[in-house]
Structure 1
Amino acid sequence: MRVAIMLMMLWMVIRDGYAQQGYAVSAIPAMLKSRADAVVRQETIVADMLAATKVRYQVKQAVTVFNRSGENKARLVIYYDKNVAIKRIAGKVFDADGLQVGKFTQRDFTDESAVSSFSLYEDTRVKHFLPAMTSYPYTVEYEYELELKQNLIIPAWRPDAYRDVAVVHSQYTFICDPADDVRVKATNYKGDPEVSNADGRKALTWTAIHIPAQRYEPFSPDPETYQTMVKVAPVNFSYYKHNGHYSDWGELGKWTYDALLADGLELPERTVQEVKQLVTGLASDKEKAKVLYTYMQRKTRYISVQIGIGGFKPMAASDVDRLGYGDCKGLVNYMQALLNVAGIPSYYCVVEAGATKRDLQPDFAGMEQGNHVILCLPFERDTTWLECTDQRIPFGFLGSFTDDRTVWACTPEGGLLLRTPHYAVTASTQRRTAELALDVKGTVSGRVETVFTAGQYDNHLEIAESNGSEQVKLLKDAYDIDQISFSQLKYQKRDEAVPTLVEAFQVALAAYVPENNGQVFLIPNAFNRRSTIPAVKNRVLPLYINRGYTDEDSISYALPEGYHLSQPVEEEIDSAFGYYYSVIKQEGNKISYYRKFTLNEGTFPAEQYADFCSFINRVSSLDNYKAVLAKR
């Protein structure tokens, strides 16, 4: 018995010692547990460029998961294709005390095609794995090695890429021959990398330690402006058996045009003749381009195609012409080919698209930047931009997906950095007028017309392009008012210099105006109420307002006999963040309501967020103001 007890005690000592040296949760500093869904215990990444066609990429990472929200960080996802070979994958799972409770290999991973739901062709596959754990916390340790058969795109190091994930230790090492010419860009990294010699080869090492979890802060800027990142780009590269070199956007643009674009602009002779006939008699290049843009929109549709030299080479114009579809690259290339026939120059432009404006980095060219392609027509004093994947939008209009950001144009002479149009706060308007009537049952009904312009043109464009029950559903989602119904819907696109969409309908709001003890309560702002935003104590990040705009609402309510407004209201707020004005008054048997709200875009110091919060929440309060109507 005594021997058994001694053995048990010895085992406990060994176990506790191992746990302390391994991944015991108790070893995580308290400051890193705060607000964290997961903690990266250790991360070691080595990118060893043995040759332009052989980069060994090794990763070892251990992540402790505290709850379900942290599981995405514990999930290992590896994309691969003909240019990326998976050499090995292995891992272990540990419990809260740091004791190993499981292990896995590549055989345990799910392997499937990475074809997106919106993509017709992709040649990428994905392996992914998440341990089947039923209790928290636990730690998963991964080790894997990839062989990249190219060095045009080497994965960047981003140790703090995930919100609500803390980092104990992360290290990135890039190894190359001393003679290799390599460009490096380190963002939000203090100090210089450690330089060492590894068997006669040069090694650069960056290290990050004790990074607390980042909490969510509303109206924050692009994470790339404040998170740590290191990018490495060799000057001489190989990619899908194409060799080249670049040190800036000019050289990369020249290579892209010569290697990926130049040989895909031929069109069938019958299409060439059709194009010439379409533009015959038109006076200006802009008129010709507009006709050809309409021709392209009617003839083609968008389908994602992620094949061809790593997904960078567009479908040939002749293939798009024959098949009637293409992705953004193929459709831009096709439109460029049509314009070439008419003798109109244009630029194939790469952009980082999305609702949040994101510039390409002017001081660090890289093929990995950008996720979409648009077309630029450099008319003298009238540069025009075309979005070629959307059959709905007018000629020369870029919506919130690609507006106001730096893009990269690929030309025969080389790459150029250009900027897409910016829509001013005063130009991006939503103007609504409504003539409504209130009946004694509390129902409001009447006619509503809204005009969307410039940066707000595409607010309801999807609704305008829908029909039937789907259109009504989308409209109800947009207005989000209980018991709302619509009839006589009508949309009109005005072909003007500034794109404009007009929406008109008859509306009925059943039981919108409740009655209590002889008083009737009406929220005059029926359609455009601003939501509140949360307060944030000890905010760290700057306040970022991505896009500015101006809204105006003019609504009149015809009242039943004997109703009158108890008190007129007028409010005005002038702030660094915008402007608000509203007035509610009665004229005869009508109540008139007018509201104007302007939001200014820009970046403001973190300490001004409290003032911004007060401004927006005051606007929200006024938007939801209940006017009291008394009965005589």
Structure 2
Amino acid sequence: MKALLSLFALLPFSALLPLHPAAPAPKYPVADIPAALREGAHTVLRADDEVVTVKSTSRLVHTVHRVVTVLNAAGDDRGGVAVPYDALNTLSYMRGAVYDAEGHLLHQLRASEIRDQGLGSSGGNFMSDVRVRYADLRQPQTPYTVELDYEIVSENTLFYPEWQPQQGDGMALQSASLLVNIPSALALRYQERQLPAGATAVKTSAGTQDVYQWKMTNLPALEEEEVAPPLAETAPTVVLAPATFEVQGHKGTASTWQSFGQWNYELNAGRDQLPPATVAKVEALVKDAPDARARAQRVYAMLQSSTRYISVQLGLGGWQTFPASAVASSGYGDCKALSNYTKALLAAAGVPAYVALVGAGPDRPDLRADFPSSQFNHAILCAPMQRDGKPDTLWLECTSQTEAFGYMGSFTGNRHALLLTPQGGKLVATPRYGAAENRQERRLDLFLDATGGATATARTVRTGQEQDLYASLLHELSPAEQKKYATDHLRLPTFTLTKYNLAAAAAGATPTVVETMALALPGFAMPSGKRVFVSPNLLSRLPALPTQVGERQTGLWLPRASLQADTVRLHFPAGFKPENLPAPVQFSTAYGTYASQYTALPDGTVQYIRRLELKRGSLPKTAYAGYLDFRRKISIADKAQVVLLKTES
């Protein structure tokens, strides 16, 4: 003991003080972000390091290390972190932390702070085993930095992860990498989209493994430009896909559309058998129908009146349908089940049909036809047949109780679908809807009074994709809610919507919704001395677009063709006459055509006729200047005024 004490006596006093661990070095200080990346950015992706390890045809592991600096309140949604998982995709771990502007640790995510939430249950119209683990790491003051680590072990190799580090408007990228390890025997299929120079794949091999690596650094913030494709179509992306895959013992290949469709077809083969009573009901229903189309129409009406839609995403149930007999007894199913059930009903009616997979969504970009893979989120039905002695194809949306017979609309029209046949998949086009189908025809009467007020009545007939929104309002909202929606969306300075009504027109080749309304417009055209200035285009003005700031980054995306035809009658009180009518306007461009004309009629009214046809297409970014001028000319013409002169009494 004395020896020990004497040893301590020989040590300097400082050596006897308790040892404290050094404070951790700062991580991700905001000052380390290059100034050029902060310009126009709400967030900066400091790191996105992802590793995909394909273990076999039925198993892969995906690890993610992601660091995002939130620069301002507009980027606060990146302060919440969420990771989905399900029965086929196990979340091994999820870790997070948040740092202040100097890079000092503010908070380490605790397990108790992670919420686990399901996306649906059998009690509603959504049956799913998909869950999300979510944590809120947002801070009251910006800037701050969120770090996230997680790992997914997937038993579903139908889908390989997609690498798109820049996930939204206003996100700059400082550093990102993707590493894929895969057995050489399996082969990796991938497609590179919008990658910057020098970011293409680097492949190496070691023994029986192939390694692919991508890296990107210092990319400026994405900016959502006018009339541009969705950001998901313009951001740098690497899409991965299997050559061979396996889901719960069901093996397949995806190197061609034929083989991918074959897997889907065989997965659902034999599930289209109906109970004898249902077959007898269909046979009685169509026994006197004159042709296959009429039989199909009766079957579709039966479907809409007796079934309802639910979403089913339970393991293999995401791709394998309920049997048709189950739908016959329960009256519900998801898109696959209802399409399969309708296929069985049509077979009982003597009408062959095929289920088709499609990427659905309003004006969604078409699939990448040159990259066979699972690019679908919906199923519809296709029935090839004859019409007037010529080949025809009937398409049916089987999940809606209100959709018009044979109509696809903006949800599934104007794109490709994968037909599932006994011979495998076949890529086919869904119905195309152009300006001839997508029409808006309006007749408006505008009545001025001597004090400057006005009233108006309007009847608008919309067809095709122009009626899609209004059909939804008609079927989903009450009349009072429809009127409120119209009131909220009319671009008029001061008005009262005194009457409003929506109604479906008689069924035709293209669905039609008729809108009627009446408006009170106090102070609409106040006299200026002896003159009154009136803009007859009350409801159909197309605004100009802002001038492009800086160089245009994306192409021009015009997803819908349409035709607008307006006829306006201007009624004015006694003692007024037209002094000046705007000159006719007419021009035609690659983007569309426009014409307007004003005429003084013998009955004392002024008639204004406007016709605007917009074209559909994708054009290079150099076309934006021309499109900007096209919209500017339309905006000027739409604001033209009729000058009325008060005559001497």
TM over 0.5: yes
Matched-pair contact (CA < 8 Å) for 1:60–1:141: yes
Structure 1 equivalent of residue 47 of structure 2: 42
Structure 1 equivalent of residue 596 of structure 2: 582
- CA distance, structure 2, for counterparts of residue 518 and residue 185 of structure 1: 68
Once the two structures are superposed, residues 459-489 of structure 1 have per-residue CA deviations (whole angstroms, 9 ceiling, x without a partner) of 4223443543223223434544442334484
> 1:342 aligned to 2:357?
no
- CA distance, structure 2, for counterparts of residue 627 and residue 235 of structure 1: 66
Once the two structures are superposed, residues 224-258 of structure 1 have per-residue CA deviations (whole angstroms, 9 ceiling, x without a partner) of 54322222222222213323333211111111111
Structure 2 equivalent of residue 431 of structure 1: 441
Matched-pair contact (CA < 8 Å) for 1:92–1:140: yes
- CA distance, structure 1, for counterparts of residue 502 and residue 243 of structure 2: 56
Matched-pair contact (CA < 8 Å) for 1:160–1:211: no
Once the two structures are superposed, residues 15-51 of structure 1 have per-residue CA deviations (whole angstroms, 9 ceiling, x without a partner) of 8x944xx412111122211111111112211111123
Structure 2 equivalent of residue 476 of structure 1: 487
Q: In 2 relative to 1, CA 55–543 (structure 1 residues): closer, same or farther, beyond 3 Å?
A: same
Q: Which of 580, 585, 593 is the aligned partner of 2:608?
A: 593
Q: How does 1:243-254 map to 2 (within 5 A)?
A: 243-254=251-262
Q: How does 1:206-225 map to 2 (within 5 A)?
A: 206-225=214-233
- CA distance, structure 2, for counterparts of residue 156 and residue 563 of structure 1: 67
> 1:548 aligned to 2:561?
yes
> 1:559 aligned to 2:569?
no
Once the two structures are superposed, residues 361-385 of structure 1 have per-residue CA deviations (whole angstroms, 9 ceiling, x without a partner) of 2222222x12222111112411111
Structure 2 equivalent of residue 330 of structure 1: 337
Matched-pair contact (CA < 8 Å) for 1:541–1:606: yes
> 1:614 aligned to 2:625?
no
Q: In 2 relative to 1, CA 489–419 (structure 1 residues): closer, same or farther, beyond 3 Å?
A: same
Q: Which of 275, 282, 293 is the aligned partner of 1:268?
A: 275
- Quote the offset at 1:57 in angstroms: 1.4
Matched-pair contact (CA < 8 Å) for 1:52–1:149: no
| Structure 2 residue ranges without an equivalent (≥5) | 1-19
- Quote the offset at 1:200 in angstroms: 5.1
SS at match of 2:68: strand
- Cα RMSD, aligned residues only: 2.5
SS at match of 1:401: helix
Once the two structures are superposed, residues 70-92 of structure 1 have per-residue CA deviations (whole angstroms, 9 ceiling, x without a partner) of 23334321111111112122233
Q: In 2 relative to 1, CA 113–495 (structure 1 residues): closer, same or farther, beyond 3 Å?
A: same
- CA distance, structure 2, for counterparts of residue 225 and residue 344 of structure 1: 38
> 1:605 aligned to 2:638?
no
Matched-pair contact (CA < 8 Å) for 1:24–1:98: yes
Q: How does 1:127-526 map to 2 (within 5 A)?
A: 127-189=133-195, 190=197, 192-197=200-205, 201-259=209-267, 261-309=268-316, 311-367=318-374, 369-380=375-386, 381-445=391-455, 447-465=457-475, 466-481=477-492, 482-487=494-499, 489=501, 491-526=503-538
Q: Which of 3, 26, 29 is the aligned partner of 2:31?
A: 26
> 1:535 aligned to 2:526?
no
Structure 2 equivalent of residue 569 of structure 1: 582
- Quote the offset at 1:157 in angstroms: 1.0
Matched-pair contact (CA < 8 Å) for 2:168–2:231: no
In the alignment, residue 585 of structure 1 is paired with which amino acid? T
In the alignment, residue 546 of structure 2 is paired with which amino acid? P
In the alignment, residue 604 of structure 1 is paired with which amino acid? L
Q: Which of 89, 92, 95 is the aligned partner of 1:90?
A: 95
Q: In 2 relative to 1, CA 509–240 (structure 1 residues): closer, same or farther, beyond 3 Å?
A: farther
Relative to structure 2, which stretch is displaced further, 220-229 or 78-87?
220-229
Q: In 2 relative to 1, CA 44–198 (structure 1 residues): closer, same or farther, beyond 3 Å?
A: farther
Structure 2 equivalent of residue 6 of structure 1: none
In the alignment, residue 100 of structure 1 is paired with which amino acid? L
Q: Percent identity?
A: 30
- CA distance, structure 1, for counterparts of residue 611 and residue 206 of structure 2: 65
Q: In 2 relative to 1, CA 105–51 (structure 1 residues): closer, same or farther, beyond 3 Å?
A: farther
Structure 1 equivalent of residue 108 of structure 2: 103
Q: In 2 relative to 1, CA 584–94 (structure 1 residues): closer, same or farther, beyond 3 Å?
A: same
Relative to structure 2, which stretch is displaced further, 200-209 or 539-548?
200-209
Relative to structure 2, which stretch is displaced further, 80-89 or 288-297?
80-89
Structure 2 equivalent of residue 624 of structure 1: 639
Q: In 2 relative to 1, CA 360–564 (structure 1 residues): closer, same or farther, beyond 3 Å?
A: same
- Quote the offset at 1:617 in angstroms: 2.6
Runs in 1 of length 4+ with deviation above 4 angstroms? 197-200, 505-508
Q: In 2 relative to 1, CA 45–446 (structure 1 residues): closer, same or farther, beyond 3 Å?
A: closer
Matched-pair contact (CA < 8 Å) for 2:88–2:315: no
- Quote the offset at 1:511 in angstroms: 4.2
Relative to structure 2, which stretch is displaced further, 353-362 or 553-562?
353-362
Matched-pair contact (CA < 8 Å) for 2:41–2:221: yes
In the alignment, residue 302 of structure 1 is paired with which amino acid? Y
- Quote the offset at 1:198 in angstroms: 5.6
- Quote the offset at 1:424 in angstroms: 2.2
- CA distance, structure 1, for counterparts of residue 355 and residue 419 of structure 2: 6
SS at match of 1:382: strand
Structure 2 equivalent of residue 4 of structure 1: none
- CA distance, structure 2, for counterparts of residue 347 and residue 90 of structure 1: 46
- CA distance, structure 2, for counterparts of residue 141 and residue 584 of structure 1: 63
In the alignment, residue 584 of structure 1 is paired with which amino acid? Y
- Quote the offset at 1:582 in angstroms: 1.6
- Quote the offset at 1:492 in angstroms: 4.0
- Quote the offset at 1:272 in angstroms: 0.9
SS at match of 1:512: coil
Matched-pair contact (CA < 8 Å) for 2:81–2:137: no
In the alignment, residue 346 of structure 2 is paired with which amino acid? L
Relative to structure 2, which stretch is displaced further, 187-196 or 369-378?
187-196
Q: In 2 relative to 1, CA 294–510 (structure 1 residues): closer, same or farther, beyond 3 Å?
A: farther
- CA distance, structure 2, for counterparts of residue 323 and residue 53 of structure 1: 33
Matched-pair contact (CA < 8 Å) for 1:569–1:585: no
Matched-pair contact (CA < 8 Å) for 2:257–2:425: yes
Q: TM-score, normalised by structure 1?
A: 0.91
- CA distance, structure 1, for counterparts of residue 206 and residue 100 of structure 2: 36
- CA distance, structure 2, for counterparts of residue 502 and residue 136 of structure 1: 50
| Structure 1 residue ranges without an equivalent (≥5) | 1-10
SS at match of 2:269: helix
- CA distance, structure 1, for counterparts of residue 417 and residue 108 of structure 2: 46
Q: In 2 relative to 1, CA 360–574 (structure 1 residues): closer, same or farther, beyond 3 Å?
A: closer
Once the two structures are superposed, residues 255-311 of structure 1 have per-residue CA deviations (whole angstroms, 9 ceiling, x without a partner) of 11111x223312222111110001102221111101111111111223333225152
Q: In 2 relative to 1, CA 220–352 (structure 1 residues): closer, same or farther, beyond 3 Å?
A: same
Once the two structures are superposed, residues 515-565 of structure 1 have per-residue CA deviations (whole angstroms, 9 ceiling, x without a partner) of 343433322012211123211132121112111211011111222111112
Kindly tell me the number of residue pairs found equivalent between the two proteins: 615
